[in-house]
Amino acid sequence: MEINMPTKKTRVRPETMLVHKTVTVYRTYVDNDVDQGVHSYWFTLNPDTDDQAFDIRVVSPSVLDAHPPYLAADANPEFATATKDQIDTWRKQWYEWNKTGGGEDQAIRNGLMDAINRGVLNNLHDGSVVLSR
């Protein structure tokens, strides 16, 4: 017979991704479980719920345009004729893009700041949030 021990859920404050002007942006988590890790592109302005979560790729559609060239011929026609050295360079660029604090993280931070500057993401004085398009 298998015995399941009781578990207890404890609420934790989400990680702050960015504070810009008067707006704080928090990370959201896979299945609302910190142990499963953060979502890559979903954030919230409300630390108490992700009911108002948003996708940075919708709020700032060009946020990831600065990515390195793709490593597949169907997405990057130059890949089919690229030299080994060129492919190695692109792989290194992807490594730098994907590492923690790398190009993708910086692009996302810049996209969040841009959305705040444009007034797309706003915290109101009563603690509520406005997402405008």
The pTM for the full model equals: 0.78
Degrees, nearest 5: CA angle 65-68-71: 120
E-assigned strand segments in the chain: 16-20, 23-29, 38-44, 54-55, 121-123, 129-131
The mean pLDDT of the chain is 85
pLDDT tens digits along 66-108? 899 999 988 999 999 999 999 999 999 999 999 999 999 999 9
Tokens of 99: 């590492």
pLDDT tens digits along 12-63? 788 899 999 989 999 988 777 777 888 899 999 988 877 778 999 998 989 8
> Cα separation of 2 and 24, whole Å?
45
